[in-house]
Amino acid sequence: MFHRISNAFDPLQLSISPERVDLICKHLNEKKMLVSLSSGLDNLKRHQRGCFYAITFDDGYHDNIYLKRLALQGHKFTIYIATRLLGAQVLWPFQLINAIEKCNKKQLDLTCLDLGLFDLTQKEQRYDLILFLNDWLKQFSYQEMAEKLNIIMEKCQAPPLIDSERMLSPSEVADLHNAGVDIGAHTMNHVILSKLPYDDQEKEIRGCFADIKALLNNKDVLHFAYPNGRQEDFNDETVMLVREAGFVSAVTTIYGANRKNVDHFRLKRIAVTPNSFLSPWGTFSKSRFFSETSGLLSLIKEFFTK
């Protein structure tokens, strides 16, 4: 599981350098293990022996356009997009990062949110605040979260994001699809589905399905990703709605590899961060990547992350 492709420092650990993406694809191709998500699921259905990797990207950030070149070379990817956010600014966690990083104040007063005063004199303090606020905001409904985020951003008085800090545009999504990238669904507005009533969940899921079909000239939309993707972020109703909408799979952000007889609507994933699979010298380790994502070690890590 990936999100963004960027060399910029990311307190949320969601941005991977282009060089790291290239390296992982190269190593997987050398071992003939890189497959499309659909092919990987077919392998599971057939109980085919071996270890296979499907690379997925959540949200649909503009920097994902980097994958077009790799896709034209034969690499397989799935990008999950929130259709009503195409062309808009990056999702709210990155708007939060921008506001805190570029705030020209030495102290941020959030007493109006019952959070108190925060010292911003050191970079580390700013990054700690970003992580705290990111987790704090997730507890609210989408509307409440947006209102509280707006208050925080107004208090920061930071300059706006630059144009490159946005989501993919509809035409860029079509370009990626034409290059061979699978386009999956991530709801219309990237809302946490378990916080919505049944009818709103259905609207978000079916609306995204219809949006993508229209964007891709009636091409089948096969794969879905639950926004945020933790166990508490979707429920049995959500799974039923995704299945009934016409999808054939849905991924979570729950750690783990997928084995035969797995529920295709509760697929696990392994998140790749800038600090994943590093050698003692801080460089990417091919051997550590394969040892930690396949076989016994991944089973052990799954057990301890439950």
Q: Which CATH number fits domain 4-88+170-304: 3.30.70.20, 1.10.600.10, 3.20.20.370, 3.40.50.2300?
A: 3.20.20.370
pLDDT at 85: 96
pLDDT exceeds 80 at position 20 = yes
pLDDT at 15: 96
For the chain, give the percent of residues with pLDDT over 70.
97
What does the pLDDT look like over 158-179, one tens digit per residue? Answer: 888 888 899 999 999 999 999 9
pLDDT at 296: 65
Q: Is 38 exposed, middle or buried (0-12, 13-18, 19+ CB in 10 A)?
A: middle
Model confidence at 295, in pLDDT bands (50, 70, 90)? Answer: low
What does the pLDDT look like over 224-234, one tens digit per residue? Answer: 999 999 999 99
| Separation in Å, CA 254 to CA 195, 223, 229, 305 | 18, 17, 7, 9
Asked if 219 and 232 count as a contact pair (C-beta separation under 8 A), the reply is no
Q: What is the CA 168 to chain-centroid distance, rounded? A: 14
**Average pLDDT value for residue range 250-271:** 94
Model confidence at 154, in pLDDT bands (50, 70, 90)? Answer: very high
Q: Across all residues in the chain, what is the average pLDDT? A: 93
Model confidence at 219, in pLDDT bands (50, 70, 90)? Answer: confident
